[in-house]
Amino acid sequence: MSRLRVSLNLRSLGWVMAKKPLTRIVMPIDGHIRQILKVRDQGDDVRIILIAAEYFDDPPYEDTRILEQRYSIHPSKQADFNEVKQTLELENGTTFETSLRTLGPKTDKLQLIFIRACPPLSNDRYLLNANARDTIVELSYCAAPACTPILGVFVTSLDGPKKVAGSTRFRQVFINLKKYRLIIAYSFLPFSLGRGQLLHQMTNPVRINKGNVPDPQLTNPLLGLTSLEARNKTLSAFEATQKFMLQSVANKLPKEARLTLEKAGFDLWTVNKLSKKLGKFQR
């Protein structure tokens, strides 16, 4: 007897497969819930998708629209470590990839994935559009009229730390996934410069358009961080990001403000005192 093969197009029958739920990291701003990150948990493979700035600003691709920027976390197929891969896709077809190899989650330690000073979040691209099955994690927001949220995102195992060692300089939340735990340490820079900043580590060279790289590995896998080491890493990274962002616009500041900032080493307390003078650069 011959078999009868039947193929059904579920969409044509009005059936639509439900989207897999996401974990969305949000923040209330100006009376609206703004989305900063979204996490897709597929067990061994986790994707952290940034709600990216609209345009890339590094030459020679400045002013090219960003399609997507994401980090993926998965076990290495070749050795007993985890790989954190960053992918940036531009509208002109250019793709950048970086890779970080770490022993952190395998040894119940913390691994920093990235530090991000958010761009202005008032754009409609950051408005929350969630599925009913999604999990919403809401961060508190700075009450100042102009400030920049800054995040440090760590990954560890489910047996690893539930938080970075405490500090009065940042807040934190943790998210348990199927195979990993994410910890988000966050604070606020008391100014807005109309742009963001993203920093991450890598143990492999940048790969462009999936091309070959001359040396497949720059360093051995990172060892991961203890909770106390992660706190110190967070504080130093937040301060370095703040200083970098201010230095990038220092020449545009009034001379008195610029000299005061430079003399004080761009520290947080001096920035607070000079907030009115920085006001003309807040957008």
- 253 has pLDDT over 70: no
pLDDT value for 229: 96
pLDDT value for 283: 33
Mean pLDDT estimate for the chain: 80
**CA pair distance 190, 59, nearest whole angstrom:** 28
Token output for 82: 């985890």
pLDDT value for 126: 87
Q: What is the mean pLDDT of residues 107-133?
A: 88
**CA pair distance 101, 218, nearest whole angstrom:** 10
Instruction: Give 8's pLDDT tier (boundaries 50, 70, 90).
Output: very low
Lowest mean pLDDT among 28-37, 151-160, 213-222, 273-282: 273-282
* Angle, CA of 148, 27 and 181, to the nearest 5°: 100
- 5 has pLDDT over 80: no
131-145 pLDDT, tens per residue? 778 899 999 887 666
pLDDT value for 133: 86
The domain limits of the chain are 20-245
Instruction: Give 17's pLDDT tier (boundaries 50, 70, 90).
Output: very low
- 252 has pLDDT over 80: no
pLDDT value for 13: 42
182-222 pLDDT, tens per residue? 999 999 887 777 778 888 888 877 778 776 665 555 568 88
pLDDT value for 240: 87
- 280 has pLDDT over 50: no
Sheet strand arrangement including 197-199:
171-176, 180-189, 148-157, 111-117, 197-199
Q: What is the mean pLDDT of residues 231-255?
A: 80
pLDDT value for 195: 76
Q: What is the mean pLDDT of residues 11-26?
A: 64
- 79 has pLDDT over 80: no
**CA pair distance 59, 166, nearest whole angstrom:** 39
pLDDT value for 10: 41
Q: Which residues of 23-59 are buried (b: 16+ CB within 10 A; e: fewer)?
A: bbbbbebeeebbbbbbbbbeeeebbbbbbbbeebeee
Q: What is the mean pLDDT of residues 90-100?
A: 89
